[in-house]
């Protein structure tokens, strides 16, 4: 666990936010050693934070015991250099259990994913996240997506809740996000963090920056950290030429490839890690591996992205 508060560590990130894949061995069991190596390489490549066992890390596929093992491994690999945020989800009781496991493993914070399956009203969602925030000393970032979409008024209440420090948006309604940011600001809540949490967030980050949202998740950092870091730097410094070159030549084609298969937001990323030389195993069911021709296209796209970096040197 790092000593500085999570919100302060994330406010001005020095690099992309890293969402590592979870490594499995040949028997499909969690492979902590390979996972540590994956996380360590990401930190050394310039990640500003590690978000362990979240969406890209197949939180849905992990037992509580495996989850605890992976979060502890991520904390060990990070060595306090960057904060480690762990996923937490399902119903309230299980989310609290995962939160306490993360705290015991040394995590610095929680990414609270949507409750399992049910489509709840605003009052129930607010109660759920407040109970989760009260269950540990860890600061909580609430993940808005799927069946957990909030009105601006609800986000104001979340922002006023002790222990809740931010909102990660995976819904993608920019009008709603603008009204949310405005409502929280008008309520006088300061230092509340916002994240662009859409899949392959680099593609939409120029639009989110217009709302003042500078933090975003980077799944591709798992397998092309050099491209993700170059894009992050270009966005931060206002280098539009580089942003456009990477979006047009790498990120948009990657999204088009990602959209060719269900679950590719995870399995294609994991395949990319393997293509770059680290055997992290395959995804667990119900996800499936990318088709052979899609893997070939991914390999070509990685080469294209690296060529784009060289063009900009």
The helix (run of H) or strand (run of E) holding residue 235 is: helix 225-237
Active-site entry in 24, 35, 98, 143: 143
Active-site entry in 35, 168, 216, 270: 168
The whole-angstrom distance between residue 250's C-alpha and the CA centroid of its chain comes to 19
Q: Tell which residue, 301, 311, 245, has the closest CA to residue 271.
A: 301
The β-bridge partners of 168 are 143, 195
* Cβ atoms of 229 and 46 closer than 8 Å: yes
Could you identify the residue written with the tokens 């309230």? 92
End-to-end Cα, the chain, rounded Å: 37
Structure tokens at 303: 């080469």
Could you identify the residue written with the tokens 């310039």? 46
Round to whole Å and give the CA distance between 49 and 2.
Answer: 11
Q: Is position 260 annotated as part of the catalytic site? A: no
The phi and psi torsions of 193 (rounded to 5 degrees) equal: -95, 145
3-state secondary structure of 57: coil
Burial status of residue 241 (CB atoms within 10 A of its CB: 0-12, 13-18, 19 or more): exposed
Helical pair 122-135 and 92-104, crossing angle rounded to 10 deg: 30
Centre a 10 Å sphere on the Cβ of residue 294 and count the other Cβ atoms it contains.
Answer: 18
Q: Is position 143 annotated as part of the catalytic site? A: yes
**Positions marked catalytic:** 143, 168
């Amino acid at each position: 666990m790092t000593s500085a508060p999570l919100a302060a560590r994330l406010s001005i990130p020095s690099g992309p936010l890293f969402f590592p894949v979870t490594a499995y061995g040949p028997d499909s069991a969690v492979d902590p050693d390979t996972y540590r190596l994956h996380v360590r390489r990401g930190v050394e490549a310039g990640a500003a934070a590690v978000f362990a066992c979240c969406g890209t890390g197949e939180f849905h596929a992990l037992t509580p015991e495996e989850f605890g093992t992976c979060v502890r491994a991520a904390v060990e690999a990070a060595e306090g250099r960057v904060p480690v945020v762990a996923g937490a989800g399902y119903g309230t009781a299980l989310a609290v259990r995962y939160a306490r496991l993360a705290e015991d493993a040394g995590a610095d914070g929680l990414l609270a994913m949507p409750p399992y399956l049910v489509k709840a009203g605003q009052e129930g969602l607010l109660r759920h996240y407040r109970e989760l925030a009260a269950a540990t000393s860890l600061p909580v970032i609430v993940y808005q997506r799927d069946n957990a979409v909030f009105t601006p008024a609800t986000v104001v209440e979340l922002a006023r809740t002790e222990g809740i420090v931010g909102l990660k948006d995976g819904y993608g309604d920019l009008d709603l996000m603008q009204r949310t940011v405005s409502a929280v600001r008008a309520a006088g809540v300061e230092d509340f963090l916002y994240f662009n949490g859409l899949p392959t967030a680099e593609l939409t980050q120029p639009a989110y920056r217009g709302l003042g949202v500078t933090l975003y998740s980077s799944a591709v950092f798992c397998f092309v950290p050099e491209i993700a870091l170059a894009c992050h730097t270009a966005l931060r410094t206002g280098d539009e030429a580089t942003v456009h070159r990477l979006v047009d030549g790498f990120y948009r084609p990657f999204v088009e490839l990602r959209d060719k298969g269900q679950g590719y937001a995870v399995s294609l990323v994991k395949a990319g890690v393997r293509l770059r030389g680290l055997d992290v195993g395959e995804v667990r069911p119900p996800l499936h591996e990318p088709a052979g021709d899609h893997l070939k296209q991914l390999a070509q796209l990685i080469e294209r992205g690296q060529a784009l970096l060289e063009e900009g040197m």
